[in-house]
Amino acid sequence: MMINWYPGHMFKTKKALLAQVKLVDVVLEIRDARIPLSSKNPDIEEICKNKPRIVLFNKKDLADVEKTEEILKKLPWPEGVYYCLVESKATGGLKEVWNIIEKVYGQYKEKWSGKGLRPRPLRGMVVGIPNVGKSTIINRLLKRSVKTGAKPGVTRGVQWIKLSDKLELMDTPGVLWPKLGDMEVGLKLGATGSISDEVLPVIEVANWLLKILCTYRKPEFFNRFNLNGSENLNEIYEKIGRRRGLFLRGEEIDYQKVALVILKEFRQGLLGKYTLD
């Protein structure tokens, strides 16, 4: 089984992205808290060069936060690279990001004043692989700044939105390409929704996910599908299919539809909170 999900146009975006990153002072890199490693773009260090970068592990509400934090603590975090776990859908879910922005702003201000330059708002840009919540985060940052009155401005064809005296944001996010060629990473990206279901072998991904769900044995999973925990994969499909009326014809279970239900409800957090890395 090979997941052929990598859209060719993403190759072309690298050049454009490199040019855009040159215009900013700080990069807000978004990843998925459920797959903190697998949702990393393989070229992010090269793209950001030595720019300050804030890595936002989004969808904290769906992740096993303890496990994610354990993973993050073990990673090297070089100077100028900050991280935090966020839930961009929640009001106030980005509070910590603003604190880090203050910190980065302070560093720039010091640098500027050393050169006799007047302080100005930092220029930032949001980047990340598909579906990690880039648009949601931009909207959430905007909402918070409505009080101060977000103002659009244009420089060299790029739209900037002034969010505060300390931050201007590029209005469109940079879409990064995910890791290629690693089956396990592909399955994780598929399960969490970073790869569109149309190109995803949904049954394979659901089977892989079910094995994990059966290992973790969280009550949310068993209760949701009325399972007793002793079923094998086939029996799980049968039970879900019957309860939800997902038949092909007659009494034949529609495996594809059952797989989609499993993936959809997993992504909504209805089967419990998981970190898959």
State the residues that interact with ligand GDP by CB under 6 A: 58-59, 61-62, 87-89, 128, 130-136, 173
User: Distance (Å, rounded) from C-alpha 87 to C-alpha 93?
Assistant: 5
Cα–Cα distance, 134 to 127 (Å, whole number): 7
CB of 116 to ligand GDP, least distance (A): 39
Tell me the residue type at 105.
Y
Smaller CB separation from ligand GDP, 10 or 227: 10
Q: Which of 60, 135, 132 is nearest to 93 (CA)?
A: 60
Q: How far is the CB of 126 from ligand GDP (least distance, A)?
A: 8
Return the structure tokens found at 258: 């059952």
Instruction: Find the shortest distance in angstroms from Cβ 172 to ligand GDP.
Output: 10
Say which DSSP state 7 is in: -
Nearer to ligand GDP, 13 or 135 (CB): 135
> CB of 210: closest distance to ligand GDP in angstroms?
21
Please report how close the Cβ of residue 277 comes to ligand GDP at its closest, in angstroms. 17
Q: Which residues pair with 175 in a beta bridge?
A: 128
**Between residues 136 and 207, which has the closer beta carbon with respect to ligand GDP?**
136
Task: Return the number of the residue (255 or 266) whose C-beta is nearest ligand GDP.
Answer: 266
Q: CB of residue 32 vs ligand GDP: minimum separation in angstroms?
A: 9
User: Which CB sits closer to ligand GDP, 213 or 236?
Assistant: 213
Residue/partner pairs of 100-109 with CB below 8 Å, 24 or more apart: 100/54, 101/26, 101/54, 101/166, 101/167, 102/166, 104/25, 104/26, 104/52, 104/54, 105/166, 105/167, 107/52, 108/25
For residues 252 and 238, give the distance between their C-alpha atoms in angstroms, rounded to a whole number: 9
To ligand GDP, the closest distance from the beta carbon of 66 in angstroms equals 17
Distance CA 83, CA 106 (A): 17
Task: Compute the distance between CA of residue 74 and CA of residue 159 in angstroms, rounded to an integer.
Answer: 37
| Cα-based angle 63, 142, 191 (whole degrees, multiple of 5) | 25
If the CB atoms of residues 121 and 193 are measured against ligand GDP, the closer one turns out to be: 193
Which of 93/121 has CB closer to ligand GDP?
93
